[in-house]
């Protein structure tokens, strides 16, 4: 029986959903794959629960009653003391501080699975430093959810590139939140601010919706895919169109911005009216590989195209290659939500686990 031990950092919306999925899945993995899955450590930024035998269904109560303040060294000592086989560190946070510890974790014997995008979007020097550490210590790093939540976009790009396929362009709607916002806005008479509020209520946007409207999330996803294609790009080189008027950016507080979002209505109504017939608004990311050009921007797209037809919070990626010619490989599906993101992490853990000796 192959044993895999999960050390989870981040037990919020995605992390909590992930725990539920792992606990539900482990009996299947035992019967189908001969693999024993254990979760001996779960933590947030302040406290950690250490259970050598692994957490169970009542982990929330257990965490509230028994979690203790900790440092990373405590996790390393715990892992060594209990001789945890095949330890996998899962990062379900958005913390830069955690990411900076990745090389040390790898050196101490941990594999990595991350929903956190930061490790793949820091400087190119850090990017390759981490990969050198992974190679040296023969550890693995999976991060499918960095780009398409539960969609297999990173894996597909890696496999095409590794097979010698020349990828010429990647284009698509990379953000589930912006997808929902513009899909809804293009097909309704509602004000832009009303749709923005609804997206927040559904949990598609960040608490400060400027995080979504800035386009930075799309820019980071473009950078991640570009680096998979060995383009040595920095985040500052990505051309990003922000959708936030200058008067609502800068020093304006998040609360003040939320109170003033109706000021966006006139601008976006103008964008809508300036379109040709049978066109819709889409916030699109695009990589032109030959020109080493990465761009995120709002466009008007014909309604009858693949990008024009998406609904809800779907993501869609068009991958253009020499073999496929003018017809791209298209990957489409849910691009937002804790359940699909958590499921993507579970898939990464399964792929990693199956590759272990």
Residue spans of the domains in the chain: they are: 2-149+339-355, 153-335
Q: What is the pTM of this model?
A: 0.94
Looking at residue 325, what is its pLDDT? 85
Residue 352 CB coordination number (10 Å)? 19
pLDDT in tens, 272-291: 999 999 999 999 999 999 99
| Residue 192 binned pLDDT confidence (cut-offs 50, 70, 90) | very high
Chain-wide mean pLDDT for the chain?
95
| Residue 207 binned pLDDT confidence (cut-offs 50, 70, 90) | confident
Question: Within a 13 Å sphere around the CA of 130, how many CA atoms are in the beta-carbon half?
Answer: 20
pLDDT in tens, 213-270: 999 999 999 999 999 999 999 999 999 999 999 888 777 788 889 899 999 999 999 9
For residue 155, the surrounding DSSP H or E stretch is: helix 153-162
| Residue 326 binned pLDDT confidence (cut-offs 50, 70, 90) | confident
| Residue 66 binned pLDDT confidence (cut-offs 50, 70, 90) | very high
Query: Of 60, 221, 247, 272, which one is the catalytic site residue?
Result: 221
pLDDT in tens, 94-105: 999 999 999 999
Residue 128 CB coordination number (10 Å)? 12
Beta bridge partners of 149: none
pLDDT in tens, 81-133: 999 999 999 999 999 999 999 999 999 999 999 999 999 999 999 999 999 99
Looking at residue 47, what is its pLDDT? 97
In 3D space, the residue among 191, 169, 157, 186 whose CA is nearest the CA of residue 298 turns out to be 186
Looking at residue 335, what is its pLDDT? 77
* CA angle at 118 for the pair 63 and 183, rounded to the nearest 5°: 95
Instruction: Note the CATH architecture for domain 2-149+339-355.
Output: 3-Layer(aba) Sandwich (3.40)
Question: Is the predicted pLDDT of residue 336 greater than 80, yes or no?
Answer: no
Fold of 153-335: Dihydrodipicolinate Reductase; domain 2 (3.30.360)
Between CA 11 and CA 37 the distance in angstroms is 18
Q: Which two tokens stand for residue 30?
A: 């035992």
Q: Max alpha carbon distance in the chain (Å)?
A: 67
In 3D space, the residue among 275, 250, 270 whose CA is nearest the CA of residue 260 turns out to be 250
Beta bridge partners of 36: 3
Segment 182-195 shows an average pLDDT of: 95
- What is the percentage of the chain residues whose pLDDT exceeds 90? 89
Q: How many residues does the chain have?
A: 357
pLDDT in tens, 142-167: 999 999 988 999 999 999 999 999 99
**Is 221 marked active-site?**
yes
């Amino acid at each position: 029986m192959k044993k895999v031990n999960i050390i989870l950092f981040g037990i919020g919306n995605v992390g909590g959903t992930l725990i539920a999925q792992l606990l539900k899945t482990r009996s299947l993995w035992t019967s189908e794959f001969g693999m024993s899955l254990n979760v001996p450590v779960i933590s947030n930024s302040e406290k950690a629960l250490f259970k050598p035998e692994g957490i169970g269904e009542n982990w929330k109560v257990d965490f509230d009653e028994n979690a203790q303040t900790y440092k990373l060294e405590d996790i390393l000592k715990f892992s060594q003391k209990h001789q945890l086989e095949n330890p996998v560190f899962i990062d379900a946070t958005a913390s830069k501080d955690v990411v900076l510890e990745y090389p040390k974790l790898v050196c101490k014997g941990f594999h990595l699975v991350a929903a956190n995008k930061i490790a793949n979007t820091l400087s190119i020097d850090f990017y390759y430093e981490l990969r050198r550490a992974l190679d040296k210590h023969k550890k693995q790093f999976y991060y499918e959810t960095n780009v398409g939540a539960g969609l297999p976009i990173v894996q597909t790009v890696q496999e095409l590139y590794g097979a010698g396929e020349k990828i010429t362009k990647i284009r698509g709607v990379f953000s589930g939140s912006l997808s929902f916002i513009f899909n809804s806005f293009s097909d309704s008479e509602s004000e832009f601010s009303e749709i923005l509020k609804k997206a927040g209520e559904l949990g598609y946007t960040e608490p400060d919706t400027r995080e979504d409207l800035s386009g930075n999330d799309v820019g980071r996803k473009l950078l991640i895919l570009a680096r998979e294609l060995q383009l040595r790009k920095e985040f500052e080189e990505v051309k990003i169109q922000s959708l936030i008027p200058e008067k609502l950016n800068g020093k304006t507080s998040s609360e003040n911005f939320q109170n003033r979002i109706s000021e966006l209505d006139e601008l976006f109504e103008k964008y809508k009216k300036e379109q040709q017939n049978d066109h819709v608004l889409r916030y699109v990311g695009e990589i032109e590989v030959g020109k080493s050009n990465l761009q995120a921007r709002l466009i008007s797209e014909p309604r009858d195209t693949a990008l024009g037809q998406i609904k809800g919070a779907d993501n869609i990626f068009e991958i253009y290659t020499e073999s496929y010619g003018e017809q791209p490989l298209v990957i489409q599906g849910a691009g937002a939500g804790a359940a699909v993101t958590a499921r993507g992490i579970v898939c990464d853990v399964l792929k990693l686990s199956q590759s272990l000796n």
